[in-house]
Amino acid sequence: MNTSVIGYPRIGKDRELKFASEKYFRSEISEEELLSVAKEIRKKDLLKQKKAGITYISSNDFSFYDNVLDTAFLFNIIPQRYKDLNLSDIGTYFAMARGYQGDNGNVKALALKKWFNTNYHYLVPEIDDDTEISLTGTKPVDEFVEAKELGVDTKVAVVGPFTFLKLAKFTGSKKITDAYPALTAEYIKLISLLASKGAEFIEFDEPYLVRDLAENDIDLFKEIYSLILSNKNGIKVLLQTYFGDIRDIYNEVISLDFDAVGLDFIEGRKTAELVEKNGFPSDKILFAGVVNGKNIWKNDYKKTLDILKSINADNIVISTSCSLLHVPYTLTSETKLDEEYKKHFAFAEEKLVELIELADLSGLDYENDDVFKYNQSLFNGRANSEDKDVQARVAAITDEDYVKLPVFEEREKIQKEELKLPLFPTTTIGSFPQTSDVRKNRQDFRKGLISKEEYVEFNKKKIKECIKLQEEIGLDVLVHGEFERNDMVEYFGENLNGYVFTEKAWVQSYGTRNVKPPIIWGDVSRKSPITVEWSKYAKSCTDKPVKGMLTGPVTILNWSFPREDISIKESILQIALAIRDEVLDLEANGINIIQIDEAALREKLPLRKSDWYSEYLDFAIPAFRLVHSKVSPKTQIHTHMCYSEFTDIIPAIDAMDADVITFEASRSDLQILDSLKENNFKTEVGPGVYDIHSPRVPSVEEIVSALTKMRSKIEDSKLWVNPDCGLKTRGEEETGKSLRNLVEAAHQIRG
Ligand code: GLN
Ligand code: ZN
């Protein structure tokens, strides 16, 4: 069998692209130097795949920042405000990606959005009435030729026109229906240009097809591709889908003149069924996505070979399920991780081997093959990963554990009496500025340069100062400042059993930003109290209430590489029990307000709305309740979310049954408040009154005016006053000023 890779990581094995780009942004290296670093990365990545023996290798999967932005740039979909800067090509490109502030002007970047259900973010193209769609770029052609010169014949991967248009924002009066003919015509030009350079295969990535599609979406898709497919210029066309199944359009897809269709058998729950029921045409190649492009576990060859055997198609290519962009480069960079762990993992480079081994095995009577046998030996239980106590605890969870009593309305009364907070209580989201001394303290401790005592002493000093500052500013509910954490998930992961950490397993999040998600290796439990000492100490410094600060189970799971041998639901429950232990310990130590952050709750909402509850919210929301259901009604539970786009899941958010929720509202139009009102949202709310993502200090008047608007939608007794997220990225000076204005605004409103 032949093999295919949809896309390869592109940041460089040692994050070379990040470092070179950042140097370029600081004007420390020239454009030429940056281009040559990029060229070297592409070369290494291509040759790696070629050497492994992959049949269909992609070119144009590289990007300096983002491949949706590349596509916009390729077709001259560049808003005038960026053109007006009169920068070089790459200067304009980076201005769209990151904004520009300098001699030539001052413009913000394009909006950044999550790429489907991944932690990767793309830039949202803008199409306005003046946009002249036209093939002005050459990137796919150049990178195809470059690969060819290296001796690698590639399929050229491009973001497909349908997905591109569906993700674009139309800012003028034009709509998709006005824009698609021109865009399609330019894609056709691209095909002919590629044909003239000797390209044989073009891959159109159309992940949007895995979402719920309306009738007019299906018509649009058919319209676009009928045009493209009648102008193939001798090039073979692969329609590549991923992140799910294409149940709404499968039959239309297979009846079009594609030469090959890529389907995802990992995340596509219905993919196998679709192929079985409707058949697959014998004149097309089926690219079967069976090697997971999103997770880092070894492929279970038995399972995969069974799937491959069951597919009723004449011509199958073994493929990754999506681009390998979402996994780290290679396990060979992990020098500290024990082989006991490593043998169970496959990063991008190791997945190439898997593709080849699967291709080899698929033709054989593999049961007795050594490669197969070794692979299967990895799935006979992982040493040290099981914890019977944890499993028993999860099994013993009863319906009651998900229910908090008394009900919200009664708790609200009890808490008002107990806490005696003023109307419009003021608070912050948790972290205070992480100044260089704070980071240095953590680093020095990590490197063993200072003792545990010194490390703790320093943090205590910081906590004491932080409490003093908040008292002096006049905030009502104080926090300890989170000086011990660099990351809200990593910190908890490090203090939980069952987690494994990597050294260099970076994955691109957006542009030059990469994340290093921890791996959930085994059953998760809490080693010992995690935050209790810090919170207790903070409380000892003041008579005011101090809010304990935790990360919730859904966010911890969503920002880790999850296990594949147990369900997400099971994993979330394990983490929930661990965090619940922490909640109860905080309470036992006198902390009577506890915030459980769920910054990433929305991220893993299934791509199809019809799956939202059954596949996710039906266990994610109860898992959150499990964390706090057993505290006394006197203990007030807060939660925080970094966005306000939950208009469509307000009942689910209310069902978390927290007492207070703070969220981002300062940048949105406060429309969320109307929805809260319409849905009779019961939880008390703190819609952020100013944007912490900017160093700007909000004036008292501004905050008063925001609060006045909020009061028209939210009962006074339910309204909290706080910034919209943690303050850790802010400077001390602006933070002090902003919070003083916030407190002053609350005073004025109370008056
Ligand atoms: N408590 C965290 C903080 O204040 C919350 C961070 C977040 O929501 N991303 O930093
Ligand atoms: Zn936040």
Band (pLDDT 50/70/90 cuts) for residue 669 is low
| Predicted confidence (pLDDT) per residue in 84-93, tens digit | 999 999 999 9
> Candidates 722, 725, 730: which one to mutate for ligand 1, based on the most atoms within 8 Å of Cβ?
725
| Protein residue with its CA nearest to atom 4 in ligand 1 | 726
The number of helices, as runs of H, and strands, as runs of E, in the chain is 29, 23
Mean pLDDT of the chain: 96
Pocket flag, ligand 1, residue 640 (CB < 6 Å)? yes
What are the CA-CA distances from residue 209 to residues 96, 248, 275 (Å)?
27, 8, 16
Residues, beta carbon < 5 Å, ion ligand 2:
642, 725
Query: Given the CA of residue 728, which atom of ligand 1 is nearest to it?
Result: 10
Task: Say how many Å lie between the CA of residue 536 and the centre of ligand 2.
Answer: 23
Pocket flag, ligand 1, residue 430 (CB < 6 Å)? yes
Give mean pLDDT, residues 421-444. Answer: 97
> Does residue 122 surpass a pLDDT of 80?
yes
Pocket flag, ligand 1, residue 726 (CB < 6 Å)? yes
Query: Given the CA of residue 642, which atom of ligand 1 is nearest to it?
Result: 8
> Does residue 667 surpass a pLDDT of 80?
no
> Does residue 666 surpass a pLDDT of 80?
no
Angle between helices 700-711 and 732-750 (to 10 degrees): 50
Task: Say how many Å lie between the CA of residue 577 and the centre of ligand 1.
Answer: 21
Give mean pLDDT, residues 556-563. Answer: 96
Pocket flag, ligand 1, residue 480 (CB < 6 Å)? no
Which is nearest to 429 in space by CA: 286, 547, 261? 547
Pairwise CA distance, residues 222 & 253, whole Å: 8
Determine what percent of the chain falls in helix, strand and coil, rounding each to the nearest 5. Answer: 45, 15, 40
Band (pLDDT 50/70/90 cuts) for residue 326 is very high
Pocket flag, ligand 1, residue 247 (CB < 6 Å)? no
> Which-ligand-closest: CA of 482?
1
Query: Given the CA of residue 599, which atom of ligand 1 is nearest to it?
Result: 8
> Does residue 735 surpass a pLDDT of 70?
yes
With H, G, I as helix, E, B as strand and everything else as coil, classify residue 442. helix
Fold of 410-435+466-750: TIM Barrel (3.20.20)
With H, G, I as helix, E, B as strand and everything else as coil, classify residue 664. coil
Active site residues: 693
Task: Say how many Å lie between the CA of residue 687 and the centre of ligand 2.
Answer: 11
Which is nearest to 225 in space by CA: 216, 235, 237? 237
Band (pLDDT 50/70/90 cuts) for residue 508 is very high
Pocket flag, ligand 1, residue 549 (CB < 6 Å)? yes
Helical residues (DSSP H) of 127-269, grouped into ranges: 139-149, 161-167, 176-196, 215-229, 250-255
Pocket flag, ligand 1, residue 642 (CB < 6 Å)? yes
Pocket flag, ligand 1, residue 725 (CB < 6 Å)? yes
Residue with tokens 């509202």: 665
DSSP state at residue 112: E
> Candidates 431, 546, 595: which one to mutate for ligand 1, based on the most atoms within 8 Å of Cβ?
431
> Which-ligand-closest: CA of 644?
2
Task: Say how many Å lie between the CA of residue 727 and the centre of ligand 2.
Answer: 9
Residue 723: predicted pLDDT: 97
| Predicted confidence (pLDDT) per residue in 530-543, tens digit | 999 999 999 999 99
> Does residue 671 surpass a pLDDT of 90?
no
| Protein residue with its CA nearest to atom 3 in ligand 1 | 726
Task: Say how many Å lie between the CA of residue 683 and the centre of ligand 2.
Answer: 18
> Does residue 96 surpass a pLDDT of 70?
yes
> Does residue 67 surpass a pLDDT of 90?
yes
Q: Exposed, middle or buried, 324 (CB in 10 Å: 0-12/13-18/19+)?
A: buried
| Protein residue with its CA nearest to atom 6 in ligand 1 | 726
Query: Given the CA of residue 430, which atom of ligand 1 is nearest to it?
Result: 4
Residue 237: predicted pLDDT: 98
| Protein residue with its CA nearest to atom 5 in ligand 1 | 726
CA dihedral of 582, 584, 585, 588, whole degrees rounded to 10: 160
Task: Say how many Å lie between the CA of residue 430 and the centre of ligand 1.
Answer: 6
Same fold? 2-76+109-377, 410-435+466-750: yes
Give mean pLDDT, residues 557-569. Answer: 95
Task: Say how many Å lie between the CA of residue 597 and the centre of ligand 1.
Answer: 7
Pocket flag, ligand 1, residue 485 (CB < 6 Å)? no
Report the top-level CATH class of 2-76+109-377: alpha beta
- This prediction has a pTM of 0.93
- Which run of H or of E encompasses 122? strand 121-123
Pocket flag, ligand 1, residue 431 (CB < 6 Å)? yes
Pocket flag, ligand 1, residue 728 (CB < 6 Å)? yes
Task: Say how many Å lie between the CA of residue 719 and the centre of ligand 1.
Answer: 20
Write down the domain spans for the chain: 2-76+109-377, 410-435+466-750
Among 110-114, 135-139, 333-337, 478-482, the minimum mean pLDDT is found in: 110-114
More confident residue, 125 or 664: 125
Token pair in block for residue 515: 């994340």
Peptide bond into 695 cis (omega under 30): no
Phi-psi map region of 12: left, alpha, beta (phi>0 left; psi -120 to 50 alpha): left
> Candidates 428, 482, 556: which one to mutate for ligand 1, based on the most atoms within 8 Å of Cβ?
482
Give mean pLDDT, residues 637-647. Answer: 91
What are the CA-CA distances from residue 361 to residues 345, 686, 730 (Å)?
20, 58, 55
Task: Say how many Å lie between the CA of residue 529 and the centre of ligand 1.
Answer: 20
Give mean pLDDT, residues 287-308. Answer: 98
Residue 144: predicted pLDDT: 98
Band (pLDDT 50/70/90 cuts) for residue 694 is confident
Pocket flag, ligand 1, residue 481 (CB < 6 Å)? no
